[in-house]
Amino acid sequence: MQGYRLKSPTAVVIFLLLVSSLVILWSNPVRAAGEGSGSSVWGKDYFPNVPLISHEGRTLLFFDDLIKDKVVMINFIFTRCEDSCPLETARLREVQKILGDRVGKDVFIYSISIDPEYDTPQVLKEYTKRYDIGPGWLFLTGKEDDITLLRKKLGLYIEEIQGEDSTDHNLSLIIGNQRSGRWMRSTPFENPYVLATQIGSWLHNWKLPPKEKRNYAEAPELRQISKGEALFRTRCDACHSIGGDPTAALAKRMIGPDLLGVTKKRDPAWLNRWMAEPDKMLAEKDPLAMALLAQYRNLPMPNLRLNKVEIEALLSYIEEESRRKVPHDHSSHKH
Ligand code: HEC
């Protein structure tokens, strides 16, 4: 880059991040121009029509049954993945909730296993139960070679993903409208309202004239938010509420416990350690952790690789938010 001098390594990293996100933004939606028979739409000649088996035990052909003429959202997961996948699944669940009963009717969500030998239909079914996945979202397995081919064709093949310690799983979602031929890579960590809006507007692409994006109105207002709140929204919000209205929480079918007052309810040392390494505490069979696990469908909270500063920010956000929700807490039921 002649002519430009970046001052510090941090500036270089930030610069590279900016460039790569721009590349992601502007190189997509990806179009396969001239693929196959001169058509600009990825069709049957592009996608392998391989058979996949759903968590319900149905055999479905990738092109004919799953994507032909449909608006789809596809990601690749594996159920043994303990780091990013649980959060990824929880965030897509948010998108599913926003889209409501359109999922399974005019939008289809597919999570395809990249560990098909282990992820049998039975294992996938178990997984959908643990996450309380609603209808219209299929978890699929199949032959490893077929799935690798699909990942390559969808541009979501990243060599390192299979590695032991890989958390580099962040660009693993593709949204597409097979009929219009528009495909866009994204990340499950995108704001679920934005994802839902993208899918929604793509759907209408070929049905209705484009209108203003009303879903944005439901997104949180722009205001100065603390580091703790920002972290909570991206890493925790998909599984936890803080003082959520119990009926709303039920409707939302939260994955994890409501965190109202948790900083008072729990011993600080326990809480700090839980945030840093819930997986280790569960492995050590910490009694409180085990009790919570049993209460929450045996779905373990993932290790979110939080550092000390992040944990501190999160806990003070939870504390503030709890105080805001219950200004004069006279409650005497502490456990
Ligand atoms: C994929 C879902 C998921 C995500 C993401 C997640 N959690 Fe959890 N969390 C759980 C579940 C489930 C439990 C219940 C214990 C268990 O089953 O392991 C839990 C338990 C907890 C507890 C203990 C509650 C208590 O009553 O003592 C705290 C505190 C907590 N989570 C905080 C967080 C914070 C803060 C974040 C974000 C940095 C977060 N969690 C992200 C699923 C999640």
- pLDDT, one tens digit per residue, over 156-210 is 776 544 444 444 444 578 888 888 888 888 887 778 888 888 887 766 654 444 4
User: Do both 205 and 311 map to the same domain?
Assistant: no
CB atoms within 10 A of CB 163: 10
Q: What is the pLDDT of residue 153?
A: 86
Q: Tell whether the model's pLDDT for residue 102 goes beyond 80.
A: yes
> What's the CA-to-centroid distance between 108 and ligand 1, angstroms?
28
- Work out which ligand 1 atom sits closest to the CA atom of 292: 15
In this prediction, residues 5-26 reach a mean pLDDT of 45
Q: Tell whether the model's pLDDT for residue 83 goes beyond 90.
A: no
User: Is the pLDDT higher at 312 or at 326?
Assistant: 312
As given in the structure block, the two tokens for residue 297 are 């469908």
Q: What is the rounded CA–CA span in Å between residue 239 and residue 28?
A: 30
- Work out which ligand 1 atom sits closest to the CA atom of 89: 1
Burial of 21 (0-12, 13-18, 19+ CB in 10 A): exposed
Q: Are 88 and 73 in contact (CB under 8 A)?
A: no
> What's the CA-to-centroid distance between 292 and ligand 1, angstroms?
9
User: Do both 189 and 256 map to the same domain?
Assistant: no
- Atom 25, ligand 1: which residue's CA is nearest? 262
Q: Tell whether the model's pLDDT for residue 319 goes beyond 60.
A: yes
Asked whether residue 15 is domain-assigned, the answer is no
- Work out which ligand 1 atom sits closest to the CA atom of 255: 12
> What's the CA-to-centroid distance between 124 and ligand 1, angstroms?
22
pTM: 0.64
Asked whether residue 89 is domain-assigned, the answer is yes
Asked whether residue 69 is domain-assigned, the answer is yes
Q: Tell whether the model's pLDDT for residue 19 goes beyond 50.
A: no
User: Do both 180 and 299 map to the same domain?
Assistant: no
In this prediction, residues 112-124 reach a mean pLDDT of 95
Asked whether residue 222 is domain-assigned, the answer is no
- Atom 39, ligand 1: which residue's CA is nearest? 236
Asked whether residue 16 is domain-assigned, the answer is no
User: Do both 248 and 320 map to the same domain?
Assistant: yes
Q: What is the pLDDT of residue 49?
A: 94
User: Do both 184 and 55 map to the same domain?
Assistant: yes
- The band of 21, judged by pLDDT with boundaries at 50, 70 and 90, is very low
Asked whether residue 4 is domain-assigned, the answer is no
Q: What is the pLDDT of residue 124?
A: 97
- The band of 251, judged by pLDDT with boundaries at 50, 70 and 90, is low
Candidate from 133, 239, 281, 317 with most ligand 1 atoms within 8 A of CB, to mutate: 239
> What's the CA-to-centroid distance between 257 and ligand 1, angstroms?
7
Residue 302: asked if its preceding bond is cis (omega within 30°), the reply is no
Specify which of 49-53, 76-80, 162-166, 321-325 reaches the highest per-range mean pLDDT: 49-53
Specify which of 10-19, 81-90, 91-100, 159-168 reaches the highest per-range mean pLDDT: 91-100
Q: Tell whether the model's pLDDT for residue 52 goes beyond 70.
A: yes
> What's the CA-to-centroid distance between 183 and ligand 1, angstroms?
34
Q: What is the pLDDT of residue 237?
A: 85
Q: What is the pLDDT of residue 146?
A: 95
Q: Tell whether the model's pLDDT for residue 259 goes beyond 80.
A: yes
The CATH code of the domain that includes 321 is 1.10.760.10
> What's the CA-to-centroid distance between 299 and ligand 1, angstroms?
10
User: Is the pLDDT higher at 281 or at 3?
Assistant: 281
User: Is the pLDDT higher at 40 or at 60?
Assistant: 60
User: Do both 238 and 189 map to the same domain?
Assistant: no
**Exposure class string for 141-155: b at 16+ Cβ within 10 A, else e:** bbeeebbebbbebbe
Which of 182, 210, 238 lies at the terminal end of a domain, its last residue? 210
User: Do both 232 and 205 map to the same domain?
Assistant: no
Number of domains in the chain: 2
The CATH code of the domain that includes 63 is 3.40.30.10
User: Do both 240 and 134 map to the same domain?
Assistant: no
CB atoms within 10 A of CB 177: 22
User: Do both 193 and 238 map to the same domain?
Assistant: no
- Work out which ligand 1 atom sits closest to the CA atom of 315: 35
Please tell me if the CB atom of residue 112 comes closer than 6 angstroms to any atom of ligand 1. no
> What's the CA-to-centroid distance between 137 and ligand 1, angstroms?
24
Asked whether residue 82 is domain-assigned, the answer is yes
Which of 185, 210, 235 lies at the terminal end of a domain, its last residue? 210
Candidate from 189, 301, 312, 317 with most ligand 1 atoms within 8 A of CB, to mutate: 301
User: Do both 299 and 199 map to the same domain?
Assistant: no
Asked whether residue 119 is domain-assigned, the answer is yes
Which of 159, 180, 210 lies at the terminal end of a domain, its last residue? 210
- Work out which ligand 1 atom sits closest to the CA atom of 297: 17
Domain of 152?
A: 30-210
Q: Tell whether the model's pLDDT for residue 287 goes beyond 50.
A: yes
Q: What is the rounded CA–CA span in Å between residue 40 and residue 162?
A: 32
Q: What is the pLDDT of residue 325?
A: 84
User: Do both 133 and 238 map to the same domain?
Assistant: no
Please tell me if the CB atom of residue 130 comes closer than 6 angstroms to any atom of ligand 1. no
User: Do both 167 and 284 map to the same domain?
Assistant: no
Q: What is the rounded CA–CA span in Å between residue 331 and residue 47?
A: 59
> What's the CA-to-centroid distance between 168 and ligand 1, angstroms?
22
Mean pLDDT of the residues in the chain:
78
